[in-house]
Chain A
Amino acid sequence: MSDRIFGGIGLMLALLYVWRAAIIPDSFMSDAVGPRAFPYGIAAVLALSSVFFLLKPDPAPEWPRAGRLAEIGFAVLVMIAYAQLLPEVGFLIATAFASAYLTWRLGSPPLQSVLIGAGTSIGIYVIFRLILGLSLAKGPFGF
């Protein structure tokens, strides 16, 4: 069943791709092929393989239960928040929070998580900023 759904999404993706390709504007410069031909070919391969999934699906994989799915969802949200807040609060603080969350969810006890998070953040900061001289995000406090 998973493969059938995947095939359906693949077909829609191919259609969307054809539509977006069809509305590529023409340019004053042009070659014999134009900017649309190759994307059409790609969409054809996408569509053909998707039809194949619909007709001959593999056995469904073992999907995680709802709880685990939510786990991954929350991790994604934390990462998104991290990406957005990184320039605002600076590298050390953002990284400490994000890695504390991840290690907590991967099974560290709560108090230890805070320490591991801080340790990860400081460790990366020391190696990459102080030793290797990489530019990391600077927050209002300069780190």
Chain B
Amino acid sequence: MDLLASLGDGFAVALTFQNIGLALMGCFLGTIMGALPGLGPSNGVAILIPLAFTLGLGATPSLILLTSVYYGAMYGGRISSILLNIPGDEPAMMTCLDGYPMARNGRAGEALALSGVASFVGAFFATWGLVLLAPQLVKVALLFGPAEYFALFALAFMTLGGVSSTNQAKSAFAAALGLGLAMVGVDTQTGVPRFTFGEVHLYDGIDFLVAIVGLFALSEVFIFLEHRGTDKDASTAPKLAIGRIVPSWGVLKSCTPTMLRTTVLGFIAGVLPGAGASLGSFISYSMEKKLVDRNGTFGTGDPRGVAAPEAGNNAAAGGALVPMLALGVPGSGTTAVLLAVLLSLNITPGPLLFTQNPDVVWGLIAALFIGNVMLLAMNIPMVGLFVRVLMVPPRILMPVVAMVSFVGIYGISGSSFDLMVMIGFGVMGWVLRKLDVPLVPVILGTLLGNAMEVNMRRAVTIADGDYSVLFGSWLTLVLWAIAIVGFVLPIFVGGVVKARMRGAAQREAAQTD
């Protein structure tokens, strides 16, 4: 009953006029950002963080705004998958498989509505999962000392590449690069400047918001400049009629078992380190195909093939919040960006968050429930509006993205120096993406680098300079074991899983064309 009481308090926090307005705005902007090809949830949240700051919002309102954007983007990703056969973001890739064929059969509106309902079911139950599971995880996390935290951070980095990673060396390089950037600035323990090259601007360290916006948003602009006028240019795809936007009762009923099964699966994928929403939607789709596809209708516009990945990826999005809130260690790119929000608001996520700032945690969770209902209400009748937004060509959109990024960063610091650093990160992001180096570990490294070092130094200092303390308790050993398995496993199975994900998408696409 404690839980329900806390949740009730949360609703009291979230149900103010301002917070509801922010949630509404976040859901709306998030859906648009998710729907636009090239602007995924990480980008969307990244661009809006500086704005939430410069608006001078408090901790809970900022979080409500940005998590609404996060949930909204997960909803929005499906719109361009279904209508244009271009996933708005990576997790929405699997929705293309049956969503686009449905749209071509003249059932676009139905597919949109059904996927909206599936997203709602996935996100709604995943938020309940978050309510139930996070406090349990907090109990475990309270046993953690500095050595355990150091091992936990290592685990986060080593599993971040995830089971679908093709080249673990590149994930490791990215993580080291991020950690290395975090070291820039005055050392908190001894007060000596490190890696500053005598530049006074760097004494405070590199602001991770600058890094995030540069790496995600600006590099996207460069990618568009590179691909303008080629077949990778999204603006040339054919447009489809929408049709009726209410799914029939029969369709909904036939999809219900599918939605419930894939919600559970997606949630588990979200909670586990290194899996995330893309894998959640992938295994949801594959499992459903094995279970219920008796007539071979999957891939030709089967409604269940639309419901499965959407419920799966939205459930995974909720699941990914569990380790982020309870341990302070995010399991996916977007939750890493949300962690950046918390850190810049001077809130350290982790077990103490639940006891010290219960208003933040429960207010946030309540906001997720509210946002979810809003998204469902918004997405079914207003889907036509979002479709119209999709028609905005990238040549107009991308300059806006770039300029809003500049505005946000300039708004925080008012210095041209930060803008220059951001441009540098944009170029770096473009090069790294060309070389297939993942960007999320870079972000996570700059975010967690200092905390990781502090915990290591604290542990070793308490043990009088004995480094073996880092492997000294059974808890650390368990964490290291998971970390090593998580790092080594993808070397053997990663290529296979990724190839299957790509292969499935391409095969089905080839069939429909």
- List residues of chain A with CB under 8 Å of any chain B CB: 2-3, 6, 10, 17, 20-21, 24-27, 29-35, 37-39, 42-43, 45-46, 48-50, 52-53, 56, 58, 61, 63-64, 68, 71-72, 75-76, 79-80, 82-84, 86-87, 91, 95, 98-99, 102-103, 105-108, 116-117, 120-121, 123-124, 128, 132-137
Contacts and interface: CB of A to CB of B under 8 A. Distances in A.
Main secondary structure of the interface of B (DSSP, over half): helix
Interface in B183-239: 183, 187, 189-195, 218, 221-222, 224-226, 228-229
Contacts of A64: 226
Contacts, number: 190
16 contacts: A2-B435, A25-B192, A27-B190, A31-B190, A31-B457, A42-B176, A45-B176, A53-B170, A71-B226, A75-B225, A87-B416, A102-B402, A106-B225, A107-B228, A132-B55, A137-B410
A87 B414 CA distance: 9
B225 A26 contact: no
B189 A35 contact: yes
Nearest first, the 6 A-B pairs at minimum CB distance are A83-B419, A106-B395, A32-B465, A27-B190, A102-B399, A49-B173
Given A24-B192, A27-B190, A48-B172, A72 B399 contact: no
Contacts of A75: 221-222, 225
B404 A83 contact: no
A107 B393 CA distance: 10
B9 interface: no
Contacts of B179: 42, 45
B437 to A, nearest CB: 8
A129 to B, nearest CB: 9
Contact of B173 (A10, A33, A38, A71): A10
Contacts of A79: 218, 402, 406, 419, 423, 426
Contact of B228 (A3, A33, A98, A106): A106
Contacts of A34: 190
Contacts of A58: 167, 435-436
A72 B457 CA distance: 42
Interface in B133-178: 167, 169-170, 172-173, 175-177
Contacts of A124: 400, 403-404, 407
Given A63-B434, A68-B226, A103 B194 contact: no
Contact of B225 (A42, A48, A72): A72
Contact of A39 (B183, B394, B430): B183
B192 to A, nearest CB: 5
Interface of B: 51, 54-55, 167, 169-170, 172-173, 175-177, 179-180, 183, 187, 189-195, 218, 221-222, 224-226, 228-229, 394-396, 398-400, 402-404, 406-407, 410-411, 414, 416, 419-420, 423, 426-427, 430, 434-436, 452-453, 456-457, 460-461, 464-465
A107 B395 contact: yes
A72 to B, nearest CB: 5
A136 B407 contact: yes
Contacts of B192: 24-27, 35
B45 to A, nearest CB: 18
B447 to A, nearest CB: 15
Contact of B172 (A49, A91, A99, A133): A49
A102 B419 CA distance: 17
Contacts of B453: 38
Given A32-B465, A72-B222, A117-B399, 11 more contacts: A17-B180, A32-B460, A32-B461, A42-B179, A43-B176, A49-B172, A61-B435, A105-B228, A106-B395, A120-B403, A134-B51
Contact of A135 (B195, B414, B426): B414
Contacts of B222: 72, 75
A106 B406 CA distance: 19
A45 B457 contact: no
A117 B404 CA distance: 13
A46 B180 contact: yes
Contacts of A132: 51, 55
B158 to A, nearest CB: 11
